[in-house]
C-alpha cells in the first residue's frame, strides 16, 4: 500500500508545539471570566535582547570615545527600545468573558471581538515582527483578534473557552484550528471549511 502521509516540514514540526498544553477537564465547561498577562519569560526575552545589545554598545563606547562614540548612540536607542518593550509587555493582557475576547499584545490599543460576531478562525505563523504561531479570529466586520500561542499565563483556560465558542457557534475554521479545538475540548476536530493552498503547488493543502 502506498504511503499517504504528507512530508513533515520544519514549519509543520514547529506548529506542533503551539497550544499543546494539557487542558484540564474542568476548564472545558467553565464560564467564569479569565484575564491573564504575558508570561514573565516572554517579557524578559523580548525586552532583554535589545537591552543587552544596548548595554554592550554603551560599555564599548566608554572604552573608546565615550558619549561621542557612535556605539553610545546605538546603545542608547537599544536601551530605550528595551524599556518601551518592557512597559508594553507588562501592560499586555488577554481576557475572556461571556460576551467575547479582548487582547492587547505589545500595543497601546485593545482589540475586542464579541462571540456572536466571529466569522472565521485560522491558525498560522504570523509575519514579522511577531514571528509567532497564533489563532486569528476574524469578525464579520471590524478588526481581527489574534490569540498568540505559548505567550500567556493561564493559556489553557482561555483556549478552552475560545474553542468552546468556536464549536458552539459553528465558526468556520481551517485544519490547524480544527486540530487545536479538538485537542482543547477532547472532542473530534470540527470539519475544516477553510482550505489553504500552497502558492506553487495548488494540489497541496493544509
For CA atoms 162, 42, 38, 112, the dihedral sign is negative
Percentage helix, strand, coil, to 5, in the chain? 40, 20, 40
Indicate whether 31 and 63 sit together in one domain.
no
Q: How many domains does the chain have?
A: 2
Q: Quick one: pLDDT at residue 82?
A: 96
- Residue 129 maps to a domain: yes
Indicate whether 181 and 123 sit together in one domain.
yes
Report how far residue 124's alpha carbon sits from residue 170's, in angstroms, rounded to the nearest whole number: 20
The CATH number linked to 151 is 2.30.29
- Residue 195 maps to a domain: no
Range of the domain at 104: 22-38+94-185
55 class by beta-carbon count within 10 Å (0-12 exposed, 13-18 middle, 19+ buried)? middle
Indicate whether 77 and 131 sit together in one domain.
no
Indicate whether 118 and 53 sit together in one domain.
no
198 class by beta-carbon count within 10 Å (0-12 exposed, 13-18 middle, 19+ buried)? exposed
Indicate whether 124 and 174 sit together in one domain.
yes
Contacts of 177 (CB under 8 A, 6+ apart): 121, 122, 123, 135, 166, 192
Indicate whether 34 and 82 sit together in one domain.
no
Q: Quick one: pLDDT at residue 3?
A: 37
What is the per-residue pLDDT across 135-172, written as a single tens digit (0 to 9) for each? 999 999 889 999 999 999 999 999 999 999 999 999 99
Indicate whether 108 and 139 sit together in one domain.
yes
Q: Quick one: pLDDT at residue 157?
A: 94
- Residue 198 maps to a domain: no
Read off the pLDDT of each residue in 12-33 and give the average, rounded to a whole number: 82
Alpha helix segments (H runs only) across the chain: 10-15, 40-62, 70-91, 155-168, 175-185
Count of all residues that appear for the chain in the document = 206
Which range among 24-33, 74-83, 160-169 shows the weakest confidence by mean pLDDT?
Answer: 24-33
- Residue 143 maps to a domain: yes
Amino acid at each position: 500500500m502506498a504511503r499517504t502521509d504528507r512530508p513533515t516540514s520544519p514549519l509543520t514540526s514547529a506548529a506542533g508545539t503551539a497550544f499543546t498544553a494539557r487542558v484540564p477537564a474542568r476548564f472545558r465547561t467553565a464560564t467564569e471570566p479569565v484575564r491573564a498577562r504575558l508570561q514573565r519569560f516572554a517579557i524578559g526575552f523580548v525586552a532583554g535582547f535589545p537591552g543587552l545589545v544596548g548595554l554592550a554598545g554603551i560599555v564599548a563606547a566608554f572604552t573608546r570615545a565615550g558619549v561621542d562614540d557612535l556605539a553610545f548612540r546605538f546603545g542608547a536607542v537599544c536601551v530605550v527600545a528595551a524599556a518601551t518593550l518592557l512597559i508594553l509587555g507588562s501592560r499586555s493582557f488577554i481576557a475572556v468573558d461571556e460576551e467575547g475576547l479582548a487582547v492587547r499584545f505589545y500595543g497601546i490599543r485593545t482589540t475586542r471581538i464579541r462571540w456572536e460576531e466571529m466569522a472565521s478562525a485560522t491558525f498560522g505563523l504570523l509575519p514579522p515582527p511577531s514571528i509567532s504561531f497564533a489563532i486569528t479570529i476574524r469578525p464579520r466586520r471590524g478588526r481581527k483578534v489574534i490569540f498568540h500561542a505559548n505567550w500567556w499565563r493561564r493559556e489553557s483556560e482561555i483556549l478552552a473557552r475560545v474553542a468552546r465558542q468556536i464549536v458552539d457557534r459553528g465558526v468556520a475554521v481551517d485544519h490547524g484550528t480544527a486540530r487545536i479545538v479538538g485537542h482543547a475540548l477532547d472532542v473530534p476536530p470540527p470539519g475544516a471549511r477553510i482550505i489553504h493552498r500552497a502558492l506553487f503547488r495548488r494540489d497541496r493543502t493544509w
